[in-house]
């Protein structure tokens, strides 16, 4: 009789990594929602930038830009008032307050990879979440963790989080100075941002004088920002689903004593794992961590849809039936 192989830390880690990789790449509802949101934001980016181009060129006609550039060449920095920018203050005066008086509605719209989503020129937390989610595969290919902010959503800043954020920012070409001067960015961030520059007349960063637009145009620009937010939200939901599955997986693997139990779990999850492959590349559990039961629990942490009353009753009856066996 062949002796059972005991699970050790190395084997647990190998098996955990293999199963987690499947969790991250299998087609689930959560992953599909994220991929659709990311496809949609590409469409929204295109239409929003076309609209922004019309608004900016309406405020700063091309012939005026050409004339001012001519005078700059002739007179130098004294008339240096034209620059390319990717962020703009847009405003309209079509809203009214409680007294019926017109009020200004104004916001900062940044087309950059790390651009804000809340209209605050110097707020970049959400922008960073978007950048990581949007270029997730690029960061994964560099063996980095683009999911770090989603994984740490409920945690305060800590060394682990800071380490991965710094590595991601560096890989994307975002420097400390580029937070305030987008021209200082390099690499992937620069390549992304370079698509969205327009000629603007003014003398300050983001040419802070608001550019007039209509209320409908403003709403279309807001729809683009909402689409960016949807990328973040669906990415968070997907990562949460993976994290919950991995948490249960860790508990189960820790409870198992033998490699055969862990392989049975993988099999129940529909994941093919060869015992020889794990070895080559190299306690008594509670009822809930029986490989089949744990596999069913983990599977239930994705493709989540609210149960009907009938389904809840059936689920409870099945639980009671198994409890008395």
Residues 109 and 88 sit within 8 Å (Cβ to Cβ)? yes
- Please give the chain's pLDDT, 325 residues, in tens: 456 889 989 889 989 999 999 999 999 999 999 999 999 999 999 999 999 999 999 999 999 999 999 999 998 888 888 989 999 999 999 887 777 788 899 999 999 999 999 988 876 689 999 999 999 999 999 999 999 999 999 999 999 999 999 999 999 999 775 555 556 789 999 999 999 999 999 866 555 578 999 999 999 999 999 999 999 999 999 999 999 999 999 999 999 999 999 999 999 999 888 887 777 655 333 344 457 766 776 777 777 665 565 665 565 555 445 544 4
H-state helical runs in the chain: 9-25, 29-59, 62-75, 125-134, 136-141, 148-151, 159-172, 187-193, 215-255, 259-268, 275-280, 291-299, 309-323
- pLDDT score, position 80: 86
- pLDDT score, position 5: 87
- pLDDT score, position 284: 33
DSSP string, 240-285: HHHHHHHHHHHHHHHH--BHHHHHHHHHHTT----HHHHHHT--PP
Q: How far apart are CA 258 and CA 7, in angstroms?
A: 5
Give me the residue label for tokens 């862990």: 262
- pLDDT score, position 79: 83
Question: Residues near 91 by Cβ (< 8 Å), separated by ≥ 6?
Answer: 104, 105, 106, 107, 210, 211, 212, 213, 218
**What six digits make up the tokens of 181?**
């001067």
Question: Residues near 150 by Cβ (< 8 Å), separated by ≥ 6?
Answer: 129, 133, 235, 236, 239, 240
Residues 217 and 92 sit within 8 Å (Cβ to Cβ)? yes
Residues in the chain: 325
**Could you state, in order of their start, the residue ranges of all structural domains in the chain?**
9-28+241-323, 29-239
- pLDDT score, position 207: 54
Using the Cα atoms of residue 209, residue 113, residue 133 and residue 169 in order, give the sign of their dihedral. Answer: negative
**What six digits make up the tokens of 285?**
């559990």
Reported as half-sphere exposure (CB side, CA atoms, 13 A), residue 100 has a value of 0
- pLDDT score, position 125: 83
């Amino acid at each position: 009789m062949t002796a059972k192989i005991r699970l050790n830390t190395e084997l647990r880690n190998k098996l955990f990594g293999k199963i987690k990789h499947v969790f991250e790449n299998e087609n689930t509802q959560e992953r599909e929602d994220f991929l659709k949101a990311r496809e949609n934001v590409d469409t929204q980016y295109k239409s929003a930038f076309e609209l922004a181009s019309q608004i900016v060129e309406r405020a700063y006609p091309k012939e005026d830009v050409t004339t001012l550039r001519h005078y700059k060449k002739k007179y130098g920095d004294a008339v240096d008032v034209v620059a390319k920018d990717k962020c703009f203050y847009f405003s309209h005066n079509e809203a009214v307050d409680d007294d019926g008086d017109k009020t200004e509605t104004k916001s900062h719209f940044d087309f950059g990879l790390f651009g804000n989503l809340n209209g605050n020129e110097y707020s970049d937390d959400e922008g960073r979440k978007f950048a990581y989610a949007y270029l997730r595969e690029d960061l994964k290919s560099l063996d980095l963790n683009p999911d770090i902010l989603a994984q740490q959503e409920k945690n305060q800043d800590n060394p682990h989080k800071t380490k991965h954020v710094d590595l991601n920012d560096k890989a994307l070409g975002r420097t400390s100075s580029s937070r305030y001067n987008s021209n200082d960015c390099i690499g992937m961030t620069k390549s992304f941002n370079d698509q969205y520059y327009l000629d603007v007349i003014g003398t300050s960063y983001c040419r802070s004088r608001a550019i007039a637009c209509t209320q409908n145009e403003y709403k279309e620009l807001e729809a683009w920002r909402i689409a960016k937010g949807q990328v973040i939200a669906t990415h968070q939901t997907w990562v949460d689903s993976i994290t919950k599955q991995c948490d249960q997986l860790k508990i189960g693997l820790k409870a198992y004593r033998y490699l055969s139990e862990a392989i049975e779990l993988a099999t129940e999850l529909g994941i093919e794992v060869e015992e020889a492959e794990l070895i080559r590349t190299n306690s008594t559990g509670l009822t809930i961590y029986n490989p089949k039961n744990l596999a069913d629990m983990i599977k239930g942490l994705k493709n989540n849809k609210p149960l009907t009353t009938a389904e809840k009753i059936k689920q409870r009856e099945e639980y009671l039936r198994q409890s008395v066996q």
